[in-house]
Amino acid sequence: MKTIKELDIENKKVIIRCDFNVPIKEGKIVDDTRIVAALETIKYCLEKNAKVILLSHLGRIKEKEDLAKNDLSPVANRLSELLKKDVLFVEKTRGDELEAVVESMEPGDVLLLQNTRYEDLDGKKESSNDEELGAYWASLGDVFVNDAFGTIHRAHASNVGIASHLPSAVGFLIEKELNALSVLENPEHPFIVILGGAKVADKIGVIENLVTKADKILIGGGMAFTFLKAKGLEIGNSLLDEENLDFCRKMLEEYGDKIVLPVDFAVSKECNNEGEYVVKNIKDFQEDDMGLDIGDQTVAFFKEVISDAAIVIWNGPLGVYELEKYKKNTDELLKFIVDNQIKTILGGGDIVAAASAAGFKDKVYHASTGGGATLEYLEGKKLPGLEAIK
Ligand code: AMP
């Protein structure tokens, strides 16, 4: 993969696709992590006297009312504070004004365009990788750097479109993600996978791709119950993904020695913080029981399995971690990993949010920011945003 250091950017107009998809409430940025994360690539380009042209999406644009809500100008202001220099902002994604500003840029100038998804209002031009739009954005610069890992699994005009017209490379953020995730291509052993979250359906691709590579797959969260039901156990009112019972049965038949299921759960009659819970063995489940977190025996066993792991990849929380009562054992296992410095990659989405809330995110080997992109990487799929750069 060509990286930014291999790209000639000296004095060039460099288009950088960033991920500035930050939470904004009433015009104020609630969390600027993604803007801070983009600084390394931007500053590197500025050191090389580049004219820096930034693009990013923000939220989704389906109708006119979405435009004002997803205006990127607060990002330009925050970026200006962080870089301690002016950041030019053009409220449009194309047109004479934009072209004039680009034309007038000096080396060391930074320009941010309006939200790329403003182009989705008229025929989803950004999200469907409209040929003309990609070519137009590419015409604004000399080279292209993609540093938005979160959209790398999508073919959009602002990543794949531009990359197909200009010399291109990935920025430092994507490089870091790929370096961390690439250990899974040829993993050291024991290689342990932990999977949680709600539905089996969302994780089928990951299970199929990793089950042959991993030494063990530990399954928790709501998805464990479909596997347990497939074994003929009573799961009460716990989450069931009926359509994928056969898939689970097949996996257990073929890889029964690798797939490790919970033996006990925190069980309640209702899924909220008010109801009481008891910890129960799966064999004691009654019809109205609902398993909402893995139990203590299961955590102890999961700890034992991962304690001598060479590498662990973990996707999905092991319980309903949004509820104070049922995040206990997800946090407990995260703490064990951090305390024992077990080389662990948190594979995006909810588990990264859980780790962040518990203060462990920056203490693990790697917390992937990608969400859907990370999941598709783990499924072994080709990522269009990367293919375009290759
Ligand atoms: P995912 O996006 O697939 O990683 O799923 C994350 C969601 O799974 C979170 O919202 C959790 O609340 C949910 N989840 C985890 N464990 C359970 C469980 N035992 N029962 C119901 N939902 C769960």
Residue closest by Cα to atom 11 of ligand 1 = 320
In this structure, are residues 286 and 255 in contact, taking their beta carbons and an 8 Å threshold? Answer: no
CATH of 186-378, one of 3.40.50.300, 2.40.50.140, 3.40.50.1260, 3.30.750.200: 3.40.50.1260
Q: Which pair of structure tokens corresponds to residue 157?
A: 């005009």
Q: What is the pLDDT along the chain (390 residues), one digit of tens a residue?
A: 999 999 999 999 999 999 999 999 888 999 998 999 999 999 999 999 999 999 999 999 999 999 999 999 999 999 999 999 999 999 999 999 999 999 999 999 999 999 999 999 999 999 999 999 999 999 999 999 999 999 999 999 999 999 999 999 999 999 999 999 999 989 999 999 999 999 999 999 999 999 999 999 999 999 999 999 999 999 999 999 999 999 999 999 999 999 999 999 999 999 999 999 999 999 999 999 999 999 999 999 999 999 999 999 999 999 999 999 999 999 999 999 999 999 999 997 799 999 999 999 999 999 998 888 998 998 999 999 999 998
Q: For residue 164, how many other CB atoms are within 10 A of its CB?
A: 18
The answer to whether the CB of 129 falls within 8 A of the CB of 156 is yes
- pLDDT value of position 224: 98
Catalytic residue among 2, 43, 124, 199: 199
Q: Which of 220, 349, 370, 371 is catalytic?
A: 349
Asked if 199 is an active-site residue, the reply is yes
195: tokens are 């999977």
Residue identified by tokens 């790697």 is 366
Ligand 1 pocket residue status of 150, Cβ below 6 Å: no
Q: Which residue shows structure tokens 């990543």?
A: 159
Task: Please state which CATH class domain 4-173 belongs to.
Answer: alpha beta
Residue ranges per domain, the chain? 4-173, 186-378
Q: Is 349 among the residues known to form the active site?
A: yes
| 3-state secondary structure at position 14 | strand
Q: Are 216 and 192 in contact (CB under 8 A)?
A: yes
Pocket test of ligand 1: the residue of 244, 298, 321 to mutate, having most ligand atoms within 8 Å of its CB, is 321
Question: What tokens were used for 143?
Answer: 């080279």
Ranges assigned E (strand) in the chain: 13-17, 24-25, 28-29, 51-55, 88-90, 110-113, 143-146, 168-170, 191-195, 216-219, 259-260, 264-268, 278-281, 290-294, 311-315, 344-346, 366-367
- pLDDT given at position 370: 85
The SS3 assignment for 297 reads: helix
Q: Is 322 in the pocket of ligand 1 (CB under 6 A)?
A: yes
- Is the shortest distance between the CB of 241 and ligand 1 below 6 Å? no
Q: How many residues does the chain have?
A: 390
Looking from the CA of residue 317, the nearest atom of ligand 1 is 15
Ligand 1 atom having least distance to the Cα of 323: 12
Cα-atom radius of gyration of the chain, to the nearest Å?
Answer: 23
Ligand 1 neighbour 384 (Cβ under 6 A)? no
Is the minimum distance from the CB of 187 to ligand 1 under 6 angstroms?
no
Query: Tokens in use for 148?
Result: 């938005």
Residue 371 has a pLDDT of: 82
Distance, CA of 262 to CA of 219 (rounded, Å):
7
Nearest CA to ligand 1 atom 10: 320
180 lines ligand 1 (CB under 6 A): no
Nearest residue CA, atom 21 of ligand 1?
222
Is the bond into 190 cis (omega within 30 degrees of 0)? yes
Selection from 150, 112, 163, 128 nearest residue 7 by Cα: 163
Check for a shared fold between 4-173 and 186-378.
yes
β partners of residue 145 = 16, 169
* CA distance linking residue 259 with residue 194, whole number of Å: 10
> Does the Cβ of 239 fall within 6 Å of ligand 1?
yes
Concerning whether 372 is annotated as a catalytic residue, the answer is yes
- Torsion 269-275-276-278 (CA) sign: positive
Give the pLDDT confidence score for residue 349 in this predicted structure.
77
